[in-house]
Amino acid sequence: MIQNTKKIYIAGPLCTEKEREFLEGIDKMCKNLGFSTFLPHRDCGLWKEKSDVKKIAKGDLSGFEECNLLIANLNGFNVGAGTAWEMGYAYAKNIPIIALKTDRKIEIEVVSAIIAGTTKIVTSLNELRKELVKSLG
């Protein structure tokens, strides 16, 4: 295992068990490379009816503390609102972003021009792993 001090925020859709499992697989890859991680549904919980939305939002924001990389899962018909917000927040804080789009061709209509123009986008888990290894410097 490669040792380092980087902490990664892992963003992506959380609506289905399959989506959460995909993010958990990314989390496992990161940990196997020696990264620590913040995974919103694991570390703050999922929104459910009658959940304290402000508490979840505050927890998600605190997840950015000490993070110096964001991985964003862009899979799906369009980028999810939460994921897009997290990417914008990371960008504003000068946190590098690696986006992952494995389910279809990257098109501006699906990803958006601003995301495509400002974000490193990889198209496979293997490419993501290579980028993570490169980030270890």
What are the structural domains of the chain? Answer: 7-127 (3.40.50.450)
Q: Give the list of residues 6+ apart from residue 136 with CB closer than 8 angstroms, or none.
A: 2, 4, 6, 33, 34
Averaged pLDDT, 109-132: 87
DSSP H or E run through 9: strand 7-11
Phi, psi of 14 (to 5 degrees): -125, 10
User: Is this prediction's pTM over 0.85?
Assistant: yes
Cα–Cα distance, 6 to 34 (Å, whole number): 8
Does the pLDDT of residue 87 top 90, yes or no?
yes
What pLDDT band is residue 2 in, cutting at 50, 70 and 90?
very low
Euclidean distance between CA atoms 70 and 86, whole angstroms: 9
Higher pLDDT, 108 or 10: 10
Residue 5, pLDDT > 60, answer no
Of 111 and 82, which is predicted with more confidence?
Answer: 82
What is the enclosing helix (H) or strand (E) of 7? strand 7-11
Give the range among 25-34, 82-91, 100-109, 125-134 with minimum mean pLDDT: 100-109
- Residue with the larger pLDDT of the pair 114 and 111: 114
